[in-house]
Chains A and B, each alone.
Chain A
Amino acid sequence: MATSEQMIPDRAPPITQIGPIAWLRENLFSGPLNTLLTIAAFYFLYLVIPPVFEWMFLDANWQGTTRNDCTRDGACWVFIIQRFEQFMYGFYPEDLRWRPNLAGILLVLLIIPLFLKRVPYKGWLALFILLVYPVIAYFLLHGGAGIEEVDTSKWGGLMLTLVLSIFGIVAALPIGILLALGRRSSMPIIRAVSTVYIELWRGAPLITILFMSSVMLPLFLPEGMDIDKLARAMVGIALFQSAYVAEAVRGGLQAIPKGQYEAASAMGLTYWQSMRLVILPQALKLSIPGMVNTFIELFKDTSLVLIIGLFDLLSIIQQANADPNWLGFDTEGYIFAALVYWIFCFGMSRYSLALERKLDTGHRN
């Protein structure tokens, strides 16, 4: 009697239904076509990965100071290690490199609280970053007012890439917001001017805009007044980027239901009050993923300043590749540059995706 009441223990599921074998059957070998694809893909990986891995790591040269130390068949990372400082700072004087470092650390320290929950006065902090930090950064990087000056022609490498792209977003943000509001304004002239501005800069490639700002800008200024190459590039980038930011913000504005506008004006708020207190806080939040995406594009596009003779990361690597002492190591240089750009862009795109998911709270319509 007692034995019959005992449950028979559960049998393990068949091996074809669970575990790694089932996974393999499901995902790699679920049919003749799929099996063929898997074999082809494995063959492709076999062709690509082992030689690349061997070249990049197993046979690579890591130690030494000159090209003669690169005796093995693989990559010559000595080249990158020797030039690393230059790739980061360009021709910035060595004893003053703590200044860009300090500016970078300061920026990171200021930005981190923006991402933490429950930090008070985030709005003021953001304003501080947008308005005061650029001034501090200018004095740290360029000098002046008693601090030793470093001419912008000595700026270069990753530092210049970061300066250009961060400047681009900081300058473009206020202009872009105004343009987006202008494009949705009910006043025909303001709407027309904003639309023409946005479509003009979005329709032309960045190269032509950089050419324009480097060749035509000096013509537009009063005689005797001159601005350096970096400032010209910055003007071009700000014009270009503000049009893209405007479109990102417009996307956010369009996602705000009409009731919000109507409620704000029913409360007796003026146009600027309703924008500042009701519409923009919601719209900007929604447009952050779009803005991060335009920022990624800008970060990649800053490499074009090479064409007007600035030494950003790509440009300085291109120059190092042409160094007679290090000829023939182009691939190593490009791979290093690609890795740096990739880390920044991939990181930001993951952030943008996560943000999009977080903001997608389902109240959009």
Chain B
Amino acid sequence: MNQASNNNNPEKPSFFNSPQFRSIAAQALLLAAMGVFFYFIIQNMLANMEARGITTGFAFLHEKAGFGILQTLIPYSEDSTYGRTFIVGLLNTLLVSGLGIVFASILGFIIGVARLSKNWLVSHIAGVYIETFRNIPLLLQIFFWYFAVIRPLPSPRQSLSIGDWIFLNVRGLYLPRPELESGFGWMLAALAIAIVAVLLLRRWAIRRHYETGKTFPLLLTSIVILVGLPLLAYLASGGTIAWDRPVLKGFNFQGGITVIPELLALLIALTIYTAAFIAETVRAGILSVSRGQTEAALALGLTQTQTLNMVIIPQALRVIIPPLTSQYLNLVKNSSLATAIGYPDLVSVFMGTTLNQTGQAVEIISMTMGVYLTISLLISAFMNWYNHKMALVER
């Protein structure tokens, strides 16, 4: 009896072998090792910086930068500070990322749907597109567009043009700019009102659908409102929109919007490269909705359009959105390749030029990496929120 009960209750492990002690010891050891490591590199860093005569701290942000920047979204001159350089670079990064996300999404969705087309030729062209551009480094594609396509373009006098409106030459792409002073302002206001109206209408339609089961032709009405209101405003304001068109004066174009060649090359390459990944994401999302769902929806008497809108797209989006946001994040990070062709993004003007001039490596590199980390944390916070919202409610 005694022996048997002994066997069932083995001795407690000694204190040093207990899981609690071991886990605390392992963690303490890790902390100590990290402490020693960081102490070692910080000591070395301080000694090295003193030897090279670099002062630490962020005071350099208030110093005069003394260099010009090719494209600035806010007023900037050589007299501006390094702090302003940082902002200019950041805005340029956000500009190319924002535009890239819009264009890559549009192209990616088209290619993704084309890949699933029943038309053999269309789906295979889309397949070749995806497999080609996905497997070639982005930097190579940027170089190709910049050095092999845009650089050999003609000079401003022999520009390629569409009418008197759009010009393309080695100095960049010139687009007409609508002037806000005239009727265009009214149109914008009308568009804003239309967007709000459509959102309210959508809420109302969804609620009515839940309560009464009656459907409302939301898409059609939305389009009518979105197109109609601005059009009405345009006519009411006397139909005058003034366009500031680019005009050749001397050796270059004046007026309008100028897209510098660096931005153009970067944008084309980012769009084409990311679209290939987005297309795969879209395809996988649509394929993830099983055929049974379509068949069941049709069997219930839903029309093709209703099946698509109410059954397939909501379920596909659940699968598409998380990888899609990580593609957007990749695009933002990839926009830092701008530095290779001299587009003045954050990495190029701040980590490149400013770092060379001031030598404040630690501060500048942490600030730059901090920006990208913040963007990526914001995007993953959004993704977690979205996943939480869209997660299947299981009973």
Q: Give chain A's interface residues, CB within 8 Å of chain B.
A: 27-28, 30, 34, 37-38, 41-42, 44-45, 186-190, 193, 199-200, 202-209, 211-212, 215-216, 218-223, 296, 300-301, 303-304, 306-307, 314, 318, 321, 330-331, 334, 337-338, 341-342, 345-346, 349
Contacts and interface: CB of A to CB of B under 8 A. Distances in A.
A334 B148 contact: yes
**Most interface-central of B47, B48, B136, B351 (chain A CB within 10 A):** B136
Contacts of A211: 347, 351, 355, 365
A301 B118 contact: no
Interface stretch (B1-9, B26-34, B69-77): B26-34
Contact of B135 (A186, A190, A204, A345): A345
Given A44-B125, A212-B365, A303 B48 contact: no
A205 B30 contact: no
B365 A215 contact: yes
A205 B351 contact: no
B340 interface: yes
Contact of B120 (A27, A207, A301): A27
Interface stretch (B183-191, B281-289, B369-377): B369-377
Interface of B: 23, 26-27, 30-31, 34, 41, 44-45, 47-49, 51, 117-122, 125, 131-132, 134-140, 143-144, 147-148, 151, 333-334, 336-337, 339-340, 347, 351, 355, 361-362, 365, 368-369, 372-373, 375-377
Contacts, number: 154
**Most interface-central of B122, B334, B362, B375 (chain A CB within 10 A):** B122
Given A34-B119, A37-B119, 9 more contacts: A193-B30, A203-B369, A203-B377, A204-B373, A207-B347, A211-B347, A221-B44, A331-B148, A341-B137
Contacts of A222: 44
Given A223-B47, A330-B147, A341 B30 contact: no
B92 to A, nearest CB: 15
A41 B119 contact: yes
Nearest to A27: B120
A208 B368 contact: yes
Nearest to A296: B135
Contacts of A204: 333, 369, 372-373, 376
Nearest to A34: B119
B26 A341 contact: no
Nearest to A222: B44
Instruction: List 4 tightest A-B contacts by C-beta distance, closest first.
Output: A345-B135, A27-B120, A203-B376, A205-B333
Given A28-B120, A41-B125, A218 B48 contact: yes
A219 B333 contact: no
Contacts of A203: 369, 372-373, 375-377
A331 B337 CA distance: 20
B44 A205 contact: no
Given A186-B23, A190-B26, A207 B336 contact: yes
Nearest to B376: A203
Contacts of B45: 216, 219-220
B48 A223 contact: yes
A38 B365 CA distance: 52
B48 A42 contact: no
15 contacts: A38-B119, A186-B23, A200-B373, A203-B377, A205-B333, A205-B334, A207-B339, A208-B336, A211-B355, A314-B143, A330-B151, A338-B140, A338-B144, A342-B135, A349-B135
Contacts of B373: 199-200, 203-204
Contacts of B351: 208, 211
A52 B134 CA distance: 20
Contacts of B355: 211, 215
Contacts of B135: 296, 300, 341-342, 345-346, 349
